[in-house]
Amino acid sequence: MERLIFHVDVNSAYLSWEAVRRVKKGEEDLRLIPSAVGGDPENRTGVILAKSIPAKKYHVRTGEPVAAALKKCPQLVLVRPDFKLYEQNSKAFMDICRRYAPVVEKFSIDECFLDMSGTQKLYPDPVAIARTIKDEIRNELGFTVNVGIGRNKLLAKMASDFEKPDKVHTLFWQEMPEKLWPLPVRELFSVGHATANKLERSGVHTIGDLAKTALPYLQSLLGKKLGQQLHAYANGLDDSPVLAQAEKAKVYSISTTLAEDVTTVEAANQILLELADSVTTRMRADQARAYCICVSIRTHDFKNRSHQRKLEDATDVTNEVYAVSKSLLLELWKDRSPLRLLGITLAQLVYENEGQMTLFQNEKKARARMLDQTLDSIRSRYGMDTIKRGSTFQNSLDVGKKYRAQIEEKDAHKKE
C-alpha cells in the first residue's frame, strides 16, 4: 500500500490564536497590522515568538530580541504569550484532523502529521480532502493552516512550508525536480545555520546540489550520520512512521544562541537559570527525572565544549539542575573565552510510572519540588512570564535577558 501523509501547520500560530480571541471581542485583528507575540510588552524585553505578515514587511524576525524588532518597527503591537490559550487551540485543530485521519501525530503545539494511507476509497482526491480539513479548521476555529501532502513525513512537511497562508501543496517524488531541488539548501528540514554555511562554502547551494553530491564526500564533510540523513532527505527519502502516541523522550535539551558574547560568570549563570527553569518545566510535565546533566558551550571562535555529571538520585528540581549546571560551567569555562552559545541537556531519564524513582527524599528536596510544581501550575494557567525566579537563586534574570537571541528547545526521542 502506497503511503499518503499530510502535514498540517498553523499559520503564525501564537499570533493567529491571539488574533481570533480579540476578533471575537470586537477588537482589531492582529493579523492585519504590524504585530508580534513575545516577551514582556510593558518592559519590552524578551524575544519575538510569532509575527504578523505586515510585521514581516518591516523585517521583524522570529527569535530576535523585542528591542531590536521595535527599532525596525516602532508601531509594532506587542502581545504577551498565553500558553493556556495555545494548548486549547492546538487540541481543537488536531481534533478536527482526527475526524478524517486514522492516525494523527502531534509534532509540536502548532503542527501535526496525518497518516492517510489506505483512505483512498473514502477520499479518492487527496487535495480535495486536504482542502476540506483546512477549510473546516478556518470556519470552525477562525484561524488558517497550510496542508502539505507527500508520500512520507519529510515531503509532506516540506510541502506545507511552500506559499502561505491558507494553502494546500503537494510534493510527490515526480514533483521534486521542479518544487524541491531549486530551493536553497538551508531550507531543507534539519539543515541548521552552521551546516548550511559549511555546505555553501563547499559549493552545495541548493537542495538539488545536495541530492546529487556523492554520499562519501558529504559524510567526510558533515560526519557519517548527518551526511547520510541529509543526503536521503534531499532525495525525498524518509521511512519514519506517523505515531499515534509520541514515544517517550530519551533526553531533554535546550540551548540559546546569544545576541552578544557573554564574558562574565554572573551573566552566564543568569542565562543558565532561565535554561534550567525552562527545560525542567517540560520534563516535569512528562513526569520524568534525569540522572545525568550536561552543559554545552560554544565560544566566539566557534569551538564547542561540553561536560556532564552523573547524579546519585534522578532529579527534576530546577534548583538542583541549576546548581550542577553552574558547577559544570566553571569546569568548562576556565579560559573565559567569550561565549556565543549556552545549553543544558538532561539525560538518562526515568519516568514515574516505571517504578524506578526513589521513595525517600530529604525534606529540603521535597520542598523544592513542591515549589516547582506550584510555579508550573501558575504558569500553565497564565503563561511562563507570569512569575520569574529571582530570590530563590539570589539573582534576577533581567541582566541575562539582554544576551538572549533565541532559545531552541528539543525533546529528543533518539539518543544522540
Nearest to 105 by CA among 287, 288, 241: 241
Cell of 268: 552566564
pLDDT score, position 43: 65
* Average pLDDT rounded to a whole number, residues 221-242: 94
Q: Is 266 a catalytic residue?
A: no
Least confident piece of the model among 56-60, 77-81, 242-246, 277-281: 242-246
Of 58-67, 110-119, 172-181, 219-228, which gets the smallest average pLDDT?
58-67
pLDDT of residue 415: 35
Strand partners for 36: 51, 78
Residue 66 has pLDDT above 80, yes or no: yes
* The pLDDT of residue 381: 55
For the beta carbon of residue 236, count every other beta carbon within 10 angstroms. Answer: 21
Fold of the domain built from segment(s) 14-83: MutS, DNA mismatch repair protein, domain I (3.40.1170)
Q: Provide the residue ranges of all domains of the chain, joining segments of one domain with +.
A: 14-83, 180-234, 251-412
Comparing 286 with 346, the larger pLDDT belongs to 346
Active site residue: 18, 64, 111, 320, which one? Answer: 111
CATH topology of domain 180-234: DNA polymerase; domain 1 (1.10.150)
Tell me how crowded residue 102 is: count the other CB atoms within 10 A of its CB: 13
Residue 177's pLDDT is 97
Distance of CA 18 to the CA centre of its chain: 19
Q: CATH number for 251-412: choose from 3.40.190.10, 3.90.1150.10, 3.30.1490.100, 3.40.50.150.
A: 3.30.1490.100
The pTM of this model reads 0.66
CB-count burial class (<10 Å; 0-12, 13-18, 19+) for 193: exposed
Classify burial at 200, counting beta carbons within 10 Å of its beta carbon; exposed 0-12, middle 13-18, buried 19 or more.
Answer: middle
Same fold, 14-83 and 180-234: no
- Bridge partners of 106? 112
Q: What does the DSSP assignment read for 93-133?
A: HHHHHTTT-SEEEEEETTEEEEE-TT-TTT-S-HHHHHHHH
pLDDT higher than threshold 70 for residue 269: yes
Query: What is the reported pLDDT for 412?
Result: 62
Amino acid at 77: V
- pLDDT class of 380 with cuts at 50, 70, 90: low
Give the pLDDT confidence of 159-180 residue by residue, as tens digits.
Answer: 999 998 999 999 999 999 999 9
Q: What pLDDT sits at residue 375?
A: 67
pLDDT at 359: 42
pLDDT attached to residue 63:
79
**pLDDT above 80 (res 318):** yes
